[in-house]
Chain A
């Protein structure tokens, strides 16, 4: 197997442009976009209604647009936590095996385009589509907030909003790379979609429960703690560690940490750590960023890892006409 010369990225811009325009024109994208837009706007509208009636002063009023939940309507964040993976999987589950099924893969690779460029371009195209959707949604919410609340967001609120946007995009990227891995591994798009959606459901819904069971098995509750009605801190620690293997948990913690400035920690807190603490005092932006940094890096690193896995898998595959 002779090594080929030239940059492996050559041609990735062409693939990216093609993939991007395909996504934006596809009816699947349209359906996903409308779904996310309507539910998101609905949630934000309800939270604005709530914010307008409660007149408590809050230095981070704008951030509450994202986090406030009304009765019969989940908060915008929980809507996003549900819909971002759906959109990312929808964009990526047939990106590679679709080409095989349409018998266009060999034709593309007959062009002076490396496989590296094909995979990178497809991933970047999906990510850009996600970014377009999220940015437009974000701007819509800010605009709706400006119009309905009548107060401009402060600089810190805007900064926190940008971090939130970045975290949401990274979360989408993780699921996009998972979907692409499935599309590389599985030859049938249906199997690939099933696998990706299954992974999503497992990690988002079942994994927290399984983490608790595992933690209870590893650290059985001791008698003293049971008598006092206190949970075992080791057990909770392990449960949290396991839960953080799921990108859904990382995303939830990261956005709560950045959008609710009064959040100080996610872990187990001992009474001695709380004594003397001023309740409800917001952290500075940098401290909030430091607080969610592990979650953000976890998401970014996870995205890169899964993408590398799909890259390796794709590079080792045999492509025939």
Chain B
């Protein structure tokens, strides 16, 4: 208010409104400490402003600086925009509305939003570089020096922590290894995950409490993610220790951790035949040998294998031998089962179950046996017909040719 009174006292002929306005702006400008005001008049001119005139940029990256071009009390005019002081190899472009511009036209007491895009080459030297953006209008000019500081950025770094790096189980166990992947760099990263297990092992990654299988996961700078590595060994895996290599990688960094899978073998028995056919034929009341094969497809030897059978009623099935002391992994042992169907068995198909037991491991196979009956009674039937024919022949001989 005091300024207003002072001004009116000094210049009485000028319009009160205009004066008051410029006085307020002058006061604001004086308070805000403008970086540059190359105008002769303190209360009018072009202004280039930015929030952060000095900023850090990583070598090889592109940064965009927001800039405002303000026209204060000047007639709208064409303002040429130039960038000077750009070091060799750098690239600086003034953008307006998203496209490169070379000039701007701010209206009176209006501002134009601009952007300066600075592309820093990867081989830029450390230190501060000053880039000057200048605006040149008809009546006024403005300059904005910008300091671009090339700093040493943190390199990409990952780390994997495993809580249970060594686990033990049988070949049919589903192993789950919980791991923590930490992004130790200052950038968000999309981390690729990979696991290397012995041939035949199935590996997959899931989130700590998720079920979806993932192959990569985004991790924010400085953050960690809980993951799980699932491993399914192949069914015939022999007992022993197997390595599991889990790696997490981003561009420029990789972290590998080694874990181990300890597989304890178990025997697995199987009953089959030479050609895999589980069927046979047997005549009622007659012993018929059936060649079967006992096989250990597991990873540990089977001891004290007992062979037994559950035959249909009144049948006899003898297995020779019915005790096997040791059956090594992968070993096949031919065994003979002598099947004697009941003498009263009716012709047709029957099911007989053969079993092999070794401790907790057992295997069974159902054999389909076709029983045929003796043709002896068929012969007797023919005999009956022959007797009947003989009778008629005898009748012809006795009474014939009358």
A-side interface residues toward B, CB under 8 Å? 3-6, 8, 114-116, 264-265, 269-278, 281, 283-284, 286-287, 290-291, 293-294, 296-298, 300-301, 304-305, 307-308, 311-312, 315-316
Contacts and interface: CB of A to CB of B under 8 A. Distances in A.
A275 B352 CA distance: 10
Contacts of B312: 275-277
Nearest to B399: A315
A321 to B, nearest CB: 15
Interface of B: 311-315, 342, 344-352, 368, 370, 372-373, 375, 377-378, 381-382, 384-385, 387-389, 391-392, 395-396, 398-402
Pick from A276, A300, A308 the residue with the most CB of B within 10 Å.
A276
Contacts of B342: 272-273
A interface: dominant SS? helix
A115 B351 CA distance: 59
Contact of B348 (A5, A281, A308): A281
Given A274-B313, A276-B313, A276-B352, A305 B388 contact: yes
Contact of A6 (B314, B388, B401): B401
A316 to B, nearest CB: 7
B350 A276 contact: yes
Contact of B313 (A271, A284, A301): A271
Nearest to A117: B401
Top 8 nearest A-B pairs (CB, nearest first) are: A276-B312, A297-B381, A315-B399, A275-B313, A272-B313, A304-B388, A281-B349, A308-B392
A264 B314 CA distance: 18
B314 A293 contact: no
Contacts, number: 116
27 contacts: A6-B401, A8-B396, A8-B400, A114-B401, A116-B402, A264-B348, A269-B346, A271-B313, A272-B314, A272-B342, A273-B346, A276-B351, A276-B352, A277-B349, A277-B350, A277-B351, A278-B349, A278-B350, A278-B368, A290-B377, A291-B347, A293-B377, A300-B388, A301-B387, A304-B385, A308-B392, A316-B399
B311 A276 contact: yes
A114 B312 CA distance: 61
A273 B345 CA distance: 6
A290 B401 contact: no
B395 A264 contact: no
B344 A296 contact: no
B385 A290 contact: no
Nearest to A269: B346
Given A8-B400, A307-B392, 19 more contacts: A3-B401, A5-B401, A271-B313, A272-B342, A273-B346, A275-B312, A275-B313, A276-B313, A276-B351, A278-B350, A278-B368, A290-B372, A290-B375, A294-B377, A301-B385, A301-B387, A304-B385, A304-B392, A308-B388
A61 B370 CA distance: 22
Contacts of A276: 311-313, 315, 350-352
Contacts of A287: 347-348, 372-373
B369 to A, nearest CB: 9
A315 B345 contact: no
A190 to B, nearest CB: 27
A119 to B, nearest CB: 10
A296 B396 CA distance: 25
